[in-house]
Amino acid sequence: MISLLGRVRFATLGNVIGGIKMRAVAIVCVGALALAACQKKTDEAAKTGEETQASAAAPAAAPAGPPRRKPGLWVQTINAEGMTQETKLCLDETVEKKMTLWGQQMGEQVCAKNEITPAAGGWKVESECDFGEAGRNVTSGTVTGDFNTKYVMKLTTTTTGAKMIQANGTQTMEMTGAWQGACPADMKPGDMLLPGGMKMNIASMPGPK
């Protein structure tokens, strides 16, 4: 869940995170986008869920939508293409809400399909998004965890039509987020510490137009 910032952010993160190709980072973005963009839809569906449950019995399932992450310092470990990268993100409620809003806006603009549904032990994620020159991404996967201490996102994305030829193909990625406690004194809400020591503040970036 390291972006929700659109194609410009894909390029930015692709340039600064060495070792993992741009498309691996894009997958993380798309996965996070699907998760956050669908939050509003699943919340609305939950409101009418009582009527459905009253008419037909259903097996036990995960909650309607994943909760927001707990404020504080999160370490996010990304495994893709046999390589591992780690980022640190300082969150508060304001930043988390802003990222969710961006995700909703981006989903409406570029994704023909953006769904998250309850599955055993978590949620199933499916999205089809067109990022122009960055290609068309079809993503499926799962998200598990309580988002209070830990979450795990496992995604498979197929990219086609990307201007950068090496970005095309099928990519698997796993991202684990682990809550570490309060943010350190040298990090403010929205600060993300990237591999190599580069720091950026995602909250200060403009959202999608």
The whole-number pLDDT of residue 28 equals 46
Q: For the chain, what are the domain ranges?
A: 7-45+63-198
H-type alpha helices, the chain: 7-16, 22-55, 93-110
Residues of the chain predicted below pLDDT 50: 1-31, 33-48, 50-52, 54-63
Residue in 149, 109, 145 with CA at minimum distance from that of residue 127:
109
Confidence at residue 12, expressed as pLDDT on a 0 to 100 scale: 33
What pLDDT, on the 0 to 100 scale, is given for residue 105? 59
CA-nearest of 178, 179, 176, 135 to 157 is 135
Q: List the beta bridge partners of residue 124.
A: 117, 142
Residues 64/46, Cβ–Cβ less than 8 Å = yes
Q: What percent of the chain has pLDDT over 70?
A: 61
| pLDDT (0 to 100) of residue 160 | 96
Q: How far apart are CA 122 and CA 143, in angstroms?
A: 6
